Structure 1
Amino acid sequence: MKNQQGISALLLRVVLGIIFTAHGTVKFQGGINNIVGWFDSIGLPGFLAYIVAGLELVGGIALILGIGTRIVAGLLALLLVGAIFKVQLAVGFIGGYAYDLALLSIAVYLVINGSKFYSVDNVIGRKN
């Protein structure tokens, strides 16, 4: 049973990591200045675009590798709550916050349960 939970958490961690790595990469490749302008247009300080894109990219890679899973997932959960309330809620459930809500659920699961199966944290924390 423990292996099943470990494998399930691993799948959630890696999938969430891949999704956020892709989102962060696109923000930088597409021109971060466009994202800065969009943040300004919705009433958020433009510099937050760098923080969001950096968290998505670096945090996504950290999740894939299993580095600081609970902390990274917590930061991504906060980011998702902000995205849901600032942007997606007005759009509605379908085509709006449904996707972010699913990602938020995965992030909260990882905050609560962690994921050490095939993780750098597990290798570093192992006692010989």
Structure 2
Amino acid sequence: MNSNETLSLWTPRVLSILRIVAAFLFLEHGTQKLLGFPASEFSPDMLFLPWIAGLLELVGGVLLILGLFTRPVAFLLSGQMAVAYWMAHAPQSFFPVLNGGDSAILFCFVFLYLVFAGPGVWSLDHMLKYKSATPQTNP
């Protein structure tokens, strides 16, 4: 087996790893906003935009970790990150490294990639698709 075949074999697995790691990092933003962990002085008021963002980060992060409803969730979260960048970061400075928006940009495009690439093989979406594709036999 040559190196290209080995890389191709691992592509769907590494896609799953990318999804899981990005989702864990994203989830941390939601737990900080809504659950105060890791500890932060920022605690948004319920039903205001930062609180809704925290809810999306929390629920969306969990769904992406599990690989459940990956494409629609990733689409929603990619849009959330685009809005967050243009509303909160871009007005502070033109340069993402100065305005603190580099992670929002990266999340936006990783999630956009997941919309098109899917969840990878280590996901509930993949498991449910595989299970529904196999014929059921009655004993």
- Pairs aligned (count): 119
Indicate the structure whose relative CO is greater, using CA pairs within 8 Å and at least 6 residues apart.
1
Q: Among the aligned pairs, what percent are the same residue?
A: 30
Give the TM-score taking structure 2 as reference length. 0.75
Asked if residue 107 in structure 1 is aligned to residue 108 in structure 2, the reply is no
Per-residue deviation, 1:90:
2.2
Equivalence for 2:3 = none
Is the helix fraction higher in 1 or 2?
A: 1
Per-residue deviation, 1:113:
0.9
Tell me the SS of whatever aligns to 1:34. Answer: coil
Q: Can you give the 5+ residue segments of structure 1 that lack an aligned partner in the other structure?
A: 38-45
Equivalence for 1:47 = 48
Find 2:101's aligned residue among 97, 104, 114: 97
Per-residue deviation, 1:24:
0.7
Report which of the two structures shows the higher radius of gyration computed on alpha carbons.
2
**Alpha-carbon RMSD:** 2.1
Q: Is the Cα–Cα contact under 8 Å of residues 63 and 72 in structure 1 kept in the other structure?
A: yes
Give the TM-score taking structure 1 as reference length. 0.81
